[in-house]
A and B are shown apart, each in its own frame.
Chain A
Amino acid sequence: MQYLCLIYAAENAGPQRGDPEFGEFMQGYMTFTQEVQASGAFVAGDELQPIATATTVTMENGKLETRDGPFAETKEQLGGYYLLDCKDLDEAIQYAAKIPSAKHGRVEIRPVVVFE
């Protein structure tokens, strides 16, 4: 099964670029990515640009509406994701727990719909 692990955190939480701990933090991501690639679980994964760059689009009554900013103004924002192929939810949970941002944010695990 494929699971999308959505990484949520406040943008000012955890090590920031320029902090002495930032290098170690990024190293944690590299190590994790290598681990899921080596185990075959990795399907995709990316970091997203900050929410200041977000645009939200909707079609209201056939008319395109665009809005500056993310879908919901919450403290914790979607900052990146991994798409992982796992045996079951237990395996997905174990991987999600290793994502470095889980220490200061949250990871939402969503199973991906499979059309048969």
Chain B
Amino acid sequence: MMPPLSLTQSINSIVREDWGRILASLTKSLGDLGLAEDSLQDAVEIALVKWAEQGLPKSPAAWLITTARRKAIDSIRRDQIFTRKQSEIAFLTELEHSESEIDMDALPDKRLELMFTCCHPSLAEKTKVALTLRTIGGLTTEQIAKAFLDNPKTMAQRLTRAKHKIKLAGIPYTIPDKSQLPSRLSDILGVVYLIFNEGYSASSGSNLTRVDLSEEAIRIARILHSLMPEEAEITGLLALMMLHDSRRYARTDETGQMVPLEQQNRNRWDRSKITEGKELLAYAMDQKAIGPYQIQACISALHCEADNWVSTDWSQITVLYELLLRMTPSPVIRLNMAMAISYSQSTTAALEILDEIFPQLETYQPYYALRADLHMRQGDKAQARAAFEKALALSENNAERNFLKAKMQAL
């Protein structure tokens, strides 16, 4: 059973559940994200008072959207002399002829359009992340600021500036045409994966007041998947995140120290997440449009299937990295491939790759960690120690440093 929630908490959770859907619909009809958000925020504040007195309405979402629309009309009427916008007038006329009761099921879902707006290439990376969490995820500005260890005021300014730019620069609320769709979709997926990774790397901080960004990213990916089920890379990303997330409780020990994949207690992996991730991956592969997220999900799935580190199917993982590398060339992917090769072929072959990518990864901590590991496995203690020391010097995080020290002491 769920713990009893306070009325405010339960109202907030209802609001958050429907926030993206309502906001997207209001934004589409008003043609103005800022106005839509302000109106919805007003409606929520009224709801907190009214619902506490009179109980929840039959359809809280319908109530919120009706109230938000009224608030929008008020504010358009107030500002009518200054801004006479065709779209807003059309919205008013439409409202005057619409029925009072809103059927949420019949309301077109416009979250995808809004998502393309929030992840528009003309916005800065951090702005895209914040906007997506605010508009689609329904997080408050304070929650987003906290999640990124940012000042709430700075975050609020960032969001306000973004809404201004969207309005003044004419960033549309539309699904891009076919020629733009693949690259724009990959922008969106990049933002969602960034949110996930932010949560993934921060979760060891065990700060209970912070929103779980990994869960938030999965939730947003689920929305995207439900809106575009035939887009294989959306499904691939969702699968990848589920598979990564299955290892959440094995990734840190009792003291909060990071545990690398190699040493994780595999009994602590979440089997239901693995099953769902693999099902999603199979569904994505059926669409016959392979892409980087699906390949990474395949690699993650192979790790999930292995009984232990050494018996992992390294030759298949090597092939998958080769494929990934052809789609998205990057020295970091080559580094990961070198690790797979050290098991599927030899440590010597892996070290050859490391020599080749040295100029690009000269200051990259995992480069030296792998180099140390390879030398250690070859029995070359001196070279291993030198690489460990370089890795230690580059490490910015305590858990990682302790892990490296322990390995170095085992030499």
Contact = CB atoms under 8 A, between A and B. Distances in A.
A116 B171 contact: no
Nearest to B82: A116
B83 A89 contact: no
Nearest to B184: A90
Contacts of B174: 88, 90
A86 B169 CA distance: 11
Contacts of A92: 170
B172 A87 contact: yes
Nearest to B177: A90
Interface range for A: 10 to 19
A89 B84 contact: no
A15 interface: no
A88 B170 contact: yes
Contacts of B122: 89, 93
B176 interface: yes
A28 interface: no
A48 interface: no
Contact of A89 (B82, B120, B180): B120
A105 interface: no
Given A116-B82, A116-B83, A116-B84, A90 B169 contact: no
A88 B122 CA distance: 12
A90 B172 contact: yes
B168 interface: yes
Of A89, A111, A116, the most chain B CB neighbours within 10 A belong to A89
A88 B176 CA distance: 11
Interface residues of B, number: 14
A1 interface: yes
Interface in B178-202: 180
Contacts of B170: 1, 3, 86-89, 92, 111
A49 B390 CA distance: 54
Interface of A: 1, 3, 86-90, 92-94, 109, 111, 116
Nearest to B116: A90
Contacts of A111: 168-170
B171 A88 contact: yes
B180 A90 contact: yes
Nearest to B167: A111
Contacts of A94: 180
A93 B121 CA distance: 10
Interface string B156-170: 000000000000111
A111 B172 CA distance: 13
Contacts of B176: 90
A1 B120 CA distance: 18
B172 A88 contact: yes
A3 B172 CA distance: 14
A90 B117 CA distance: 10
16 contacts: A86-B170, A88-B170, A88-B171, A88-B172, A88-B174, A89-B120, A89-B170, A90-B174, A90-B176, A92-B170, A93-B121, A93-B122, A94-B180, A111-B168, A116-B82, A116-B84
B164 to A, nearest CB: 11
Contacts of A116: 82-84
A109 B121 CA distance: 13
A10 B82 CA distance: 42
Contacts of B82: 116
A92 B168 CA distance: 13
